[in-house]
Structure 1
Amino acid sequence: MTSTMDLPTQRDTDNPTDSDLPTTDLPTNDLGGAVIVDTAADGDTTATDVEETPLDELSDEDRAALHAQWDAEIDTILRADPHTVLLAENVRTDNAEADEDTTANFKTHGVKTAVNGYRDYDTGAVVVTEGQRRVLNAREAGCTVPVWMKTPPPADERKATIERIVNQFIENDPALRRSLTLADTARALEQLAAFNLKPAGIARKLALGRKGKIYVENVLQAGQSELALKASERYDLDLLQAAVIAEFDEAGDTDTAKELILTARTAPNNFAQLAERKRTERADKQRLAALTEDLTEELTTANVTIFDNSLPDDDGDARSLDRLRPTPEDEPRTELTVEDHASCPGHGAWIETDHHDEQGNQIPVAVYGCADFLAHGHALSYAPAGRADFTPVPTSTGTSDDHESSDGEDAAVQTDEVAAARAAQAAADLERRKAAIIRKWVIKNNKDWDASAAPRREWLAGLVQRKTAPQGAQLFLALQKAHGGYELRRAFERNHPLAMTLFGLPEGATLADLTAKVAKAPTAGKATLYDLFLTLCAIEADLSRNTWRSPWGSAQAYMAAIIGWGYPASDVERKVIDPETEQEVIAAQLGDLATDPTSDRGATAEGDGADGAEVPNDAEIEDPTAEVDDVDDADANDQNGTATDYADGGTGSEPVEQDTEAEAELIGAAS
């Protein structure tokens, strides 16, 4: 329990003059001329031996000598036992306790910054007015605390209280403190690394605690990228974000680095998932390039002409075979196969890379077609019988009334046939476009979902390190146990493999090892936390690629719970709580065209916008140390989905205040 006291007032006697003070030969230090007095020498950690002799039993002469000795302490630094000093009442009440990291640092390095205190002339006790957390951590660390001795407070209680509050506010006011920038920290750690110190060694020397090695690695990585350092300072990015941005920038993928900056700025809940997806895509791109090269060689060997993207497959002279029938005389929608078309002079193929195999891996596919279907005697699949396309056949020009009547009837029939054929073609094209939109929607969200697993599981691993379960955990557990879902039974049957991994148990660990760890729970609160962790891991392990699209009850309860407990869920994870339907996705892109193929409204290109955010092409940085370009927050919202309404009533990120001048120096104007 923390000892606190109201500030005692100064004694009423006048302060002794310099000539009255005892002579000392104490060395000065760099704290404004203060001198250091080590009252804890030879194992004695008390400030003085006064406590052994009640002051009221001293003679006036001895008391005056003692007061003179205490007057001489003013502007000196005493090293005191933190258990013997008293803590004055303090304005800080929140976070006013010892913490593991600071205690670990003090155990290694001691208390480097003196606290402020004074001597109570009535009791002889040292009272600390500013520096209560240093005292509390020093108590836990078992080290002495340096106390910069000040003049005792004035006798007027009102003045003394005002002075205490002002001094404590100034001591703790963050506006008056400037911590090291990330760039400064990186330079300091780089200098240590230059002496062949490894990250773990640097962390030990700096007493950075359990996560110190990872912290040092992230700082060193961020320090390799000027773009990451500048973005971190400009937009107050956290260290992990800066390290990830530096990872891509140093790999030469500056576009992704800038997309990550944009996401950190406008939709930070998507940052970790986007970074993981980009890592996967980087590996997939190499694999896809190799497969495309193999397919190109295969087509070339088979003497198949390869069409480039300048020749569209749905407009003009060229068409893919699924849009054609063999001849105008064939019935509409007669299939034109690759084998039947192979001998056609216009035979060729486009290589499309937006297809996926059964496992969801992106693969290249040859889409066969004809370079000029009209010239080579083919017909559009939905063109009227006897016609190659939708162009009406000219009617005869007679002079008699009968001929005019016949020609009019023929023209009317043609008009009806063409209109019907066009409507059928439009409906088929619409279905094709809908399928393309849904395919791209599924592909993108599948990639995002796969990428979200690592950050989500990392969060779970951090959750189990807490001391107690979050609020509402007991009700969540009761509901899950009452429901008794398949995912829980499966985890029990398989001995909780995911929980073992996230617990950090070594490979090959058994159920007995897991049970032993749980049995060591030091408190009831920690035991509940372990119960919650095992339950969450069971549900997490049962999630699939289809969860974002068709979630079930346990998955929705799970995602809602961890979001409520602080997990920064990405957009795709929030779809588990509020899933989209295919109809909503199609309507969002096609508008009226989704239900009326003849409407002029809707998307102008197949699947436009389904792939999500794009980085502006002009967001190039020639010199990362120079001033860099801007980002348009309005476009950023569209790119990253920050306007999405979530089940919890928010949008997934705080509104971003526009900072045009500053942002004009960082990313690049969004197109």
Structure 2
Amino acid sequence: MTENTQTTTTDTADAVGVDLVTIPASEAVIEDNVRTAADLDAAFLASVKRHGVLLLTIGYRNADGAVVVRDGQMRVLAAREAGTTVPVFVTERGDTPAQRIAEQLVANERRTALTDGDRLNAYRQLELAGLSVAGIARETGTDKEQVQATLTVAKSEAATAAVVDRQVSFDAALLLAEFEGDEDATAELNEYISEGYDDELPFVAQQHRNRRIAAAEVAKVQEQYREQGVAVVDDISGGWKRLTGLSDEPVPEDDPQVFLPALDEDAHAAACGGHAVLVRASGDSAHVTAVCTTPDQHTARAFCDRPAPELTPEQEAERAAEAEAAAARRERENRLADEWTAASEVRRTWLTGLVGSKTLPKDAARWTASVLIAGTRDYYCQGVRVTDLLGVPEDADAAEWASKRPGKAQHVAFAFALAEVETNVGRYGWGMADTVAVPYLNQLSAWGYTLSHVEQIVTGAASANDEAPATIEAAE
């Protein structure tokens, strides 16, 4: 349809009393409508500004000869905003309220929006036709980030199938696309999706991202030790013990249950041919532990780890049970520590959005004042930077950035208080149920944040012995 400001009429050979006219949107009269809310979507308005009104509106002429639009008020309003014309299919229509309402109900109720699958295919076709992300965004009036995300899903067969066949949410499909090819990650994500735990998906995804980062870091650190001539052991290889559990001191005859001093790592590396390191993933980083592959050349530090001359079957069973319980505790603590690392990163991303919102929570000022007056301590030396929460560029001067935004003063104070508490919660916040973690997480929940499984453990809503929700459901 060619845009113009003149009224045009196209005669139709097979219709009586029907005209196709193009008129300035400002001249169109909008009839009373059953649709009470006429909020113009930003993408729709952008599309009309670029392409004009592509679909005909339907109307009639009133007694004064003006064109009255019955079906298409949103298109007319958008065209007015864009300062353009609107095509109208002018017909002979009754003007009784009953007929108007019936026709408007039928016209609106029978419209079917594009499915997510339709949209994925259309965006992919636009890309294959040569349009860039920016071009697609411009042509469709869509945010570039949304276009990029849609294309990411469209390029993944698994993610597209999940949208089309299982009607999963777009956010869930985007995560499936991100981890395509990673069988462990996609299996766990699909398990959470199938059990309806979509709120946990960001945390599960972040754990797998951290594992990728940690795995790369572990490989790098292992290679560095090998280049230095230091042996590297696998966690499951066995035949080694940590230096912290060994000693070169003899066991005193008068005190056989004494706890001996540990081996010195440097001295052990220089004197023992069994010196090695164990490099394991921890959260999103690598953790190095010095070990000995010839532990029999040393003495166990703890009495319980030394060979016993004789043990009854009951004592052997008791010792085995204690060892099994200790291993289970370590596994649980490692699992929760990894969950907490992922939850912290997701939470801080959410906080960045909260701080960047135009309007802060109603009680933000009160909460900020209480935090700043009480003061906090950085127990773990892992301070969260206020500038990160505020989105201050890396190369910008923070003071200058703030001085140019006097209206953001409350946001700056709020971000400072959040950073203080985030810092205080620390790396092992999941085990700090008697500190600031509980009221802090409860406050975030009141502001709209969805607590992850491990954060629910901190607040007491779940037990530390609980498995993750999807795991529990699958086991039942």
| TM bucket, shorter chain | 0.7 to 0.9
Equivalent pair of 1:277/1:451 in contact (CA under 8 Å): no
- The equivalent of 2:381 in structure 1 is none
What is the CA distance between 1:231 and its match in structure 2?
Answer: 1.9
Query: What whole-Å deviation, never above 9, does each CA across 1:361-395 have from its counterpart, x for those lacking one?
Result: 42232433657x6xx898996479xx943636xxx
DSSP-derived class of the 1:118 partner: strand
Query: Aligned equivalents of 1:381 and 1:554: distance in 2?
Result: 36
Give yes or no for the alignment of 1:309 onto 2:252: no
Amino acid at match of 2:391: T
Q: 1:501 to 1:164 in 2, by over 3 A?
A: closer
- The equivalent of 2:417 in structure 1 is 539
Q: 1:360 to 1:138 in 2, by over 3 A?
A: closer
Residue from 99, 102, 125 that aligns with 1:162:
102
Amino acid at match of 2:49: K
Give yes or no for the alignment of 1:389 onto 2:300: no
- The equivalent of 1:617 in structure 2 is none
Equivalent positions of 1:330-345 (< 5 A) are 331-333=256-258, 335=260
DSSP-derived class of the 1:363 partner: strand
Query: What whole-Å deviation, never above 9, does each CA across 1:632-653 have from its counterpart, x for those lacking one?
Result: xxxxx443x7x7xxxxxxxxxx
Query: Aligned equivalents of 1:370 and 1:136: distance in 2?
Result: 81
Q: 1:438 to 1:162 in 2, by over 3 A?
A: closer
Query: Aligned equivalents of 1:109 and 1:577: distance in 2?
Result: 53
Residue from 184, 188, 191 that aligns with 1:255:
184
Amino acid at match of 1:147: V
Equivalent pair of 2:221/2:286 in contact (CA under 8 Å): no
Equivalent pair of 2:245/2:301 in contact (CA under 8 Å): no
- The equivalent of 1:224 in structure 2 is 155
DSSP-derived class of the 1:83 partner: helix
What is the CA distance between 1:184 and its match in structure 2?
Answer: 0.7
- The runs of 5 or more residues in structure 1 that have no matched partner are 1-35, 49-67, 393-414, 520-529, 590-608, 613-636, 644-668
Query: What whole-Å deviation, never above 9, does each CA across 1:222-249 have from its counterpart, x for those lacking one?
Result: 2332122212223334445434432332
DSSP-derived class of the 1:181 partner: helix
- The equivalent of 1:87 in structure 2 is 30
Q: Identify which range, 285-294 or 543-552, moves more after superposition.
A: 543-552
Query: Aligned equivalents of 1:383 and 1:506: distance in 2?
Result: 53
- The equivalent of 1:234 in structure 2 is 165
- The runs of 5 or more residues in structure 2 that have no matched partner are 378-383
Overall identity of the aligned pairs, in %: 22
Equivalent positions of 1:629-648 (< 5 A) are 637-639=469-471
- The equivalent of 1:53 in structure 2 is none
Give yes or no for the alignment of 1:368 onto 2:368: no
Equivalent positions of 1:460-499 (< 5 A) are 460=354, 463-464=357-358, 469=359, 473-474=361-362, 476-480=363-367, 483=370, 485=372, 497-498=387-388
What is the CA distance between 1:436 and its match in structure 2?
Answer: 1.6
State how many pairs are aligned: 459
What is the CA distance between 1:324 and its match in structure 2?
Answer: 12
- The equivalent of 1:118 in structure 2 is 60
Residue from 391, 410, 414 that aligns with 1:501:
391
Equivalent pair of 1:202/1:216 in contact (CA under 8 Å): yes
Query: Aligned equivalents of 2:169 and 2:64: distance in 1?
Result: 48
Residue from 546, 566, 571 that aligns with 2:453:
571
TM-score, normalising length from structure 1? 0.55
DSSP-derived class of the 2:25 partner: coil
DSSP-derived class of the 2:214 partner: helix
Equivalent pair of 1:390/1:422 in contact (CA under 8 Å): no
Equivalent pair of 2:204/2:342 in contact (CA under 8 Å): yes
Query: Aligned equivalents of 2:344 and 2:175: distance in 1?
Result: 18
Equivalent pair of 1:332/1:381 in contact (CA under 8 Å): yes
What is the CA distance between 1:134 and its match in structure 2?
Answer: 1.7
Equivalent pair of 1:328/1:379 in contact (CA under 8 Å): no
Query: What whole-Å deviation, never above 9, does each CA across 1:329-357 have from its counterpart, x for those lacking one?
Result: 78145548658998xxx98578544476x
TM-score, normalising length from structure 2? 0.74
Q: 1:277 to 1:365 in 2, by over 3 A?
A: same
What is the CA distance between 1:452 and its match in structure 2?
Answer: 1.5
What is the CA distance between 1:533 and its match in structure 2?
Answer: 4.2
Query: Aligned equivalents of 1:532 and 1:555: distance in 2?
Result: 23
Rg larger in structure = 1
Query: Aligned equivalents of 2:330 and 2:406: distance in 1?
Result: 50
Query: Aligned equivalents of 2:248 and 2:98: distance in 1?
Result: 94
More helix by percentage: 2
Amino acid at match of 2:372: G
Query: Aligned equivalents of 1:145 and 1:568: distance in 2?
Result: 45
Q: 1:80 to 1:558 in 2, by over 3 A?
A: farther
Equivalent pair of 1:186/1:219 in contact (CA under 8 Å): yes
Query: Aligned equivalents of 2:110 and 2:69: distance in 1?
Result: 15
Query: Aligned equivalents of 1:125 and 1:554: distance in 2?
Result: 68
Query: Aligned equivalents of 1:506 and 1:337: distance in 2?
Result: 44
Query: Aligned equivalents of 1:517 and 1:378: distance in 2?
Result: 65
- The equivalent of 1:199 in structure 2 is 133
- The equivalent of 1:291 in structure 2 is 221
Query: What whole-Å deviation, never above 9, does each CA across 1:102-135 have from its counterpart, x for those lacking one?
Result: 2122111111112222222x23232222222222
RMSD: 5.1
